[in-house]
Amino acid sequence: MTTELILFFSLALIAIITGLGLLISKNAIYAALYLVLNFFTIAIFYLLLGGAFIAMAQVSVYAGAIMVLFLFVIMILGAEKLGKSNTVAWQRPVAIILSIILLIEAGYVLFWRTAPVQAAQTLPDGFGGPASIGNVLLNNYLLPFEITSVLLLVAMIGAIVLTHKQKTDKEV
């Protein structure tokens, strides 16, 4: 009980610190590396919550594929740091006030509007493993699964078209 709580609070601290690091780091590379660490802590949360398959998918898809794509684009563009520009002066305080309001609203909905439900003490065998996920995915959610494949195909074609358009314009 207590070791689990210590693990939770230390991981939560790491997640929040890396989130704030993403917010305040000037260099985009450092922000991307903070986000990788954040994704790893969230993967460990998934493991604590009994989602083994989702945790591995989180590490390979988010921390592996998506963040590598981010780092490649940052390095190709060479846009780690931005120069000075005339920002709107009141933007930052207004953003902070609006975020605090959002947090208060979330807390209100959580603590006063929902009845607390005790978590299930025991989970069935193999809960959250590839077999159980695949069973639900291919029986109950077959149509969304197929639509997802079309979405990925469209995204792939879209990325190719968007990055190749400039070349064809130059040739004409």
Partner 1 sequence: MIPTTYYIVLSALLFTIGALGVLIRRNAIIIFMAIELMLNAANLAFVAFTRMYGIIDGQVFVFFVMTVAAAEVAVGLALIVAIFRTKHNIDIDQLNNLKG
State in angstroms the smallest separation of the CB of 24 from partner 1.
9
Compare residues 166 and 171 and give the one whose CB is closer to partner 1: 166
Whether residue 39 contacts residue 63, with contact meaning beta carbons closer than 8 Å, is answered with yes
The DSSP secondary-structure symbol of 117 reads -
State in angstroms the smallest separation of the CB of 35 from partner 1.
5
Q: Where are the alpha helices (DSSP H) in the chain?
A: 2-24, 28-48, 52-57, 67-77, 91-112, 130-139, 142-171
Compare residues 160 and 171 and give the one whose CB is closer to partner 1: 160
Compare residues 85 and 171 and give the one whose CB is closer to partner 1: 85
State in angstroms the smallest separation of the CB of 137 from partner 1.
5
Whether residue 39 contacts residue 55, with contact meaning beta carbons closer than 8 Å, is answered with no
State in angstroms the smallest separation of the CB of 171 from partner 1.
15
The DSSP secondary-structure symbol of 1 reads -
State in angstroms the smallest separation of the CB of 164 from partner 1.
9
Sequence-separated (6 or more) residues with CB below 8 Å from residue 77: none
Compare residues 162 and 172 and give the one whose CB is closer to partner 1: 162
Whether residue 140 contacts residue 132, with contact meaning beta carbons closer than 8 Å, is answered with no
